[in-house]
Amino acid sequence: MTETPVVLRPAILAQAAYQQGKPAGPNDVKLSSNELPFAPLPSVLAAVRAADALNRYPDATAARLRGALATRFDVAADQVLVGAGSVALLYAAALAAAGPGDEIVYAWNSFEAYPGMVTVTGATSVQVPLRPDATHDLDAMAEAITDRTRLVILCTPNNPTGPVIAHDDLVAFLDRVRDDLLVLVDEAYVEFVTDRGAADASKLLGTYRNMIMARTFSKAWGLAGLRVGYLIGDAQVIRGIRSATIPLSTTGQAEAAALAALEASDEAARRVTEVTVRRNELSRALRDQGWDIPDSQANFVWLATRERTAEADSILREHGIIARPYESVGIRVTIGDDASVVRILTATAAVIDRYPYLRRDQSGLPEYA
Ligand SMILES: Cc1ncc(COP(=O)(O)O)c(C=O)c1O
């Protein structure tokens, strides 16, 4: 590490900055950031253009969007907090709940931003390995909670592996943990879920005052570039978290786009269905090639390439597929447009031909931790 000219916190210096999904060349297909493959809806673009008072600060409370979300989820507006992407709100929740000496429990592998976020709070990460089928091990997570635990994050569907937490299991977990412990259910991909037994934190908001849910307009709503997400929970908890947010970070354009997207819910749902149908077809085709594909309920699939991840990623790149490798664990591939499917399958066939021991029937259960 090069020396810094001023004193910075050693834990921050030791932490790698967030790594974005790789950009794609002109002939590549970018499947590295779980974005939607569709252009923005015309009504959304029109709303962004109309929000043209760029010389003015935005409404710091994003009251119109909070109102629309409150109506949608049948909660009070003061139970909703809007921020510059759900990742900004995850940071705020972590900062509100935990500091030096405290612990934050989450599954691993899970969303790559969690470790850095915990470091920023000064708290300690307690990572609980996923089970062999790439699902959360909720018993182990409950057992990992100590007197020092201030926040538990549950990611459903889990990024990068794809499976959900079952709704009944989420309820059992919430019943089991201390009721003064903040549980954040990160549902960034929930709109892609087709499994009827999957967790839906929105249905538990009135029951568990210690639970908050995080959702985003970046994925299913196709607004990743505008940065807008939201938290919903108990009004007092939300008020506390709001104090830890960066003021004025949700722009007027982002708020207008999110409102317009909500107005176009039917069209958004049609797009989501196109993605989920493709996800299921791709998962089946990959299993037919011999891959051990976890049951993804999100807009990506997971290839357990393990210690061959770097080599497998190179083969994908040779085929113009820019995916997201997780060193020595696996590769996450976002569901793209129709044309990307054949390219993915050609590339994954080449990987499994080269490393036949990665086949489901030969590898035993993959390791996800
Ligand atoms: C699990 C999960 N949570 C939160 C986010 C943050 O999304 P955004 O900040 O764009 O709302 C992501 C983005 O990749 C994610 O995968």
Write down the pLDDT at residue 18.
Answer: 79
Ligand 1 lined by 315 (C-beta under 6 Å): no
The alpha carbon of 186 and the centre of ligand 1 are apart by a number of angstroms equal to: 8
Q: 224 in ligand 1 pocket by Cβ < 6 Å?
A: yes
CA distance 366 to 369: 9
Question: Cβ(77) to ligand 1 under 6 A?
Answer: no
For 272, residues 6+ apart whose C-beta sits below 8 A from its C-beta are: 191, 192, 220
Domains present along the chain, CATH in parentheses: 10-38+266-363 (3.90.1150.10), 42-264 (3.40.640.10)
Residue 286 has a pLDDT of: 98
* Of 199, 191, 232, residue with least CA distance to 86: 232
**What pLDDT sits at residue 1?**
55
Say if CB 76 and CB 70 are below 8 A apart. yes
Task: Decide: 229 in ligand 1 pocket, CB within 6 A.
Answer: yes
Per-10-residue mean pLDDT, the chain, length 369: 86 86 87 96 97 96 98 98 98 98 98 97 98 96 98 98 98 98 98 98 97 98 98 98 97 98 97 98 98 97 96 97 96 97 98 92 57
Residue 292 Cβ contacting ligand 1 at under 6 Å? no
Report the separation in Å between the CA atom of 205 and the middle of ligand 1, taken as the mean of its atom positions.
21
pLDDT at residue 369, rounded to an integer: 45
For ligand 1, the distance from its centroid to the CA atom of residue 359, given in whole angstroms, is 30
Would you state the pLDDT for residue 341?
Answer: 97
Output the CA 253–ligand 1 centroid distance in Å.
Answer: 19
